[in-house]
Amino acid sequence: MSQIHSTAVISNDATIGSGVRIGPFCVIEGGAEVGDGCRIAAYVAIREGTSLGAGNVIHEHAVLGGDPQYVNAKGPFGKVVIGAGNVIREAATVHRGLKADHVTRIGDGNYLMAGAHLGHDCVVGDHNIIANNTLLAGHVTVHSHAYISAAVAVHQFCRIGSYAMVGGQSHVNKDVPPFVTLDGLTSRVVGLNQIGLKRKGFRPEEIAQLKAAYRVIYRRGLTWSEVLAELAAEFSSGPAAAFRAFFEGGQRGFMPERRTPRAASVKLPHEPTSDDQAESLRKVG
């Protein structure tokens, strides 16, 4: 049986599961869905088009399903679909898809800390931690098991790979590859996220493979096409195979390493180039 505070305002067109607890002064609009066993603290707004799976915990003043922050937005807007077992802390905001057929999506087991913002059309996978006052612009994708520290700003359409660690106050304007650490002071890649990988149960031989792939990407001074070819040849299986798959999906370029070898001919933040373009850039390295 659900427990709903007498001051909560819940539309007759909202769907509330069993065992749900809803605190004082919440607003749940028509068309919203709250799954079984969710706990909704005081002053939470769950807007039209928002769907929560089972066992989510939503803290005070969070707003789920707000309209997109886009000056030319006219609606009708899309949805927010949130999986199961997430924790969304105080004053976090998640906005609906920009168009009627668009979805802002959060998977399972994520932890969004106070003041975190997910813009329209973001896609967040499973078991990510997004810390206080981190801002994800529209169309940002976060894969799974990433840690995004406090006060990080992520540009629209960027991607953050699985098991990446993004340091506090980073300015992310290109894709962050999986498994790496981004330094908050410089917003540059500073190596593998080794502590996070060990905590997630990666075996020593898997971490060694990731180190070898990291050297191919950042340390051998290869052109972009050579990097992709070497990754395909040397790391067709195991966790390091995820590097090439991630790079092939890139549209904005990739965050560079803080330390750049002298022999490098094409720096990673550039867009992937043809062999002719790579040759013309070779003299710049």
The catalytically annotated residue of 83, 138, 167, 184 is 138
* CA distance readout (Å), 176 to 9, 40, 180, 183, 272: 41, 33, 8, 11, 15
Task: Walk across the sheet containing 3-4 and list its strands.
Answer: 3-4, 21-22, 39-40, 57-58, 87-88, 111-112, 129-130, 147-148, 165-166, 180-183, 188-192
Which three-class secondary structure string do you get for 193-225?
CHHHHHHCCCCHHHHHHHHHHHHHHHCCCCCHH
Instruction: Report H helices in 81-199.
Output: 194-199
Q: Is the dihedral of CA 277, 281, 282, 285 positive or negative?
A: negative
Annotated catalytic, 270?
A: no
The answer to whether residues 176 and 161 touch, using CB atoms and an 8 Å cutoff, is: yes
Active site annotation includes 138:
yes
Q: Hunting for tokens 């993004």 — which residue is that?
A: 166
Rg (the chain; Cα; Å): 21
Catalytically annotated residue among 65, 95, 97, 121: 121
* Structure tokens that stand for 209 in this block: 């493979």
Of 120, 139, 143, 145, the catalytic one is 120
- d(C-alpha 225, C-alpha 52), whole Å: 43
Torsion of CA 109, 176, 153, 173, to 10 degrees: -150
How many beta carbons lie within 10 A of that of residue 7, not counting itself? 11
Name the CA dihedral angle for 231, 237, 238, 239, rounded to a multiple of 10 degrees.
50
Catalytic (active-site) positions: 120-121, 138
